[in-house]
Chain A
């Protein structure tokens, strides 16, 4: 331990001169701009830039220089480049801060809203992420935090010209939406992904007040049904709407109002309706909005079974929609109507059938025409046979997601190594895959590693825990090992099945670009965690559950936690004492400890059910609920 501490001390000293040189303008902040950049970006800043020592420049040339710089910097949009620029010297830092319009905050608790508004003065677009991903799987108690409220309050004062807000896994209330609508007269885009805390009344108010609104996308969010006819609340007259997504709003929709809205939205390109829009209604919308490029088809099921009457010609509506390249929805699909989409298949680049339980026979005639598909999401009900059909046709496929129709541990899965192998052989340009199955073979995974060298995202979820290769009986080490060795561009990896420490040794050694790693029910000992933390140089997000990793393993990463976005470990073998030691040794890291049980008694007081650890410029948050202990 002592060696560790002195090592860290040395590193702190290394950083100091730079921070002394640059952080003066923001005298209240004691942390370096490098650290700020790390949290206000993807963390891939260039630390090798040299900083110049503080030199007072005569005013006139300085101003000229800054003006020139301003003009040049407007071409720089990539946040990593901007971070590099800001580290050059004080003057560049200042100009960059004035000209950065788009800010990305990967963890809302890594800094306070006031720090944001102090540094950046001209923000027009804000992307904020709140809860860590494992919160999606009931591993986090409700009311943990990630409230949008303090952010909207701070930005309302500082950036009245704010135009875009994009939130993921944040808690947003109706009041927040109201404040948003009132504070920003030119507001253009609201995207809420995996959020909760608001209802249709908030949406109604927001839609009504934002007269310049171009984008309203509610994606996979929980929206309470306040029984408000929100779609009628859009203002009269022509709108600026380009994208409207409300697939996740679980309440009936006033179709007449929706139709009227679509009719007076000539710029509308993306429309994603909820399952409360029937096939007949969809038909009417499509006929009036043939300029759409992206369509969420709602239920794709007729309200009434046609009885002798003329049924609308659904296929002709699709024929008329020459611009559609992206289809989703199919929430309550009546399979015999699926062929209606055939006219657009050849143009489709993205098809999401993941809410439709369709068999291979239903899929095959459709997919046969989808030569240009790049993104395909489906349920495993399409079976290996369906995947083989995809492999035979979709040579341009870049992203595949196969979700389980029966997400239980011991269910029968209709997809297997066969399907994975077929995809690897047919879709050589594959870049991203998410595949749920019950069991797998190393052979198929190795084949994919060899056939698809462009893979950047490989997420294999073998739902049966601890399952070895079902043909050889060996652990899945070889398969995942091959992935990290052969797929040199891999940035995101999720592992599963029976895995020994050896697998992690290979991942640590070869996973040179991995930024996100998800591990569940794997490994034999702390060594596995050590291999990861001592390897994987680009690791930013580490999420672990149910692995035999303890304090010793956790300690092996002390040198790098300040340089990572977060670490999540639940149901492992951590103790409070061990986590506390680390928290105390790393002042720039916040360690939260909690259990899924809200009223956790101290029956097993030293046992840590969940550790969520992240870097922060502003220390522990002040809004932590009672069940969270910040060490």
Chain B
């Protein structure tokens, strides 16, 4: 019951959000993302969700997009002058490397830009042009070959989504999007 209630809040939130993404890509994932959040919401999502409703009460804010380093090529001097928010130079975020099996290049993303897993996942999907499937607490990700994993402070490789968001942000050292076949060994959450 509790979970459903939380989901409803979340669902409403998503429904009122104005998105500016490419047409067709996000819609299919919307529902799945909500389920993802419901799946984790028993622990931490409730206060998080409330915070989100507050901060995005205007329904204008869209979740942070996948921002590739240095793109578009506008000098940070110009970006800073124009927007009066603080300098978002590299050193101040929590940047972790993201690699994807099969892609020859690595990316860096700033985890502090995201507030929850759905945003992070959407960002990664957009950045690497793939789809992540549905997250189930017991069985992990289903419906796609790609599985997001991360290496934590202890050097263990974990499934993204298993631990509460804050714990994830503070312990994540790097991300790796694995191809399905390798992931079996990772098990299914806690």
Contacts and interface: CB of A to CB of B under 8 A. Distances in A.
Contact of A597 (B22, B75, B76, B97): B97
Given A138-B70, A409-B67, A463-B72, A331 B81 contact: yes
B52 to A, nearest CB: 20
Interface stretch (B1-9, B99-107, B154-162, B163-171): B99-107
A412 interface: yes
A436 B74 contact: yes
B70 A139 contact: yes
A604 interface: yes
A545 B107 CA distance: 12
A312 interface: no
Between B68, B82, B108, the greatest number of chain A beta carbons within 10 A of the residue's beta carbon is seen for B82
A138 to B, nearest CB: 5
A498 to B, nearest CB: 13
The secondary structure that dominates the A interface is loop
Interface residues of B, number: 30
B100 to A, nearest CB: 12
A122 B181 CA distance: 69
A137 B71 contact: yes
A409 B68 contact: yes
A104 interface: no
B143 interface: no
A586 interface: no
B65 A220 contact: no
A604 B69 CA distance: 19
B73 interface: yes
A604 B106 contact: yes
B66 A409 contact: yes
A139 B69 contact: yes
A404 B20 CA distance: 16
Given A355-B82, A410-B20, A248 B77 contact: yes
B69 A138 contact: yes
Nearest to A466: B129
Interface residues of A, number: 42
B71 A520 contact: yes
B21 interface: yes
A274 B110 CA distance: 32
B69 A136 contact: no
Interface in A205-241: 220, 222
Nearest to A140: B70
Nearest to A405: B82
Interface string A434-471: 00100000000000000000000000010111000000
Given A248-B77, A355-B81, A409 B72 contact: yes
B89 interface: yes
A167 to B, nearest CB: 16
B78 interface: yes
Contact of A436 (B65, B70, B72, B76): B72
12 contacts: A138-B89, A138-B90, A357-B82, A405-B82, A407-B72, A408-B67, A410-B21, A436-B72, A463-B71, A604-B99, A607-B104, A607-B106
Interface of A: 134, 136-139, 141-142, 194, 220, 222, 248, 331, 354-355, 357, 379, 403-405, 407-412, 436, 461, 463-465, 520-521, 545-546, 571-573, 596-597, 604, 607, 609
In order of increasing CB-CB distance, the 3 nearest A-B pairs are A137-B70, A463-B72, A407-B74
Given A136-B76, A403-B78, A596-B90, 7 more contacts: A141-B90, A248-B77, A354-B78, A410-B65, A412-B20, A520-B73, A609-B105
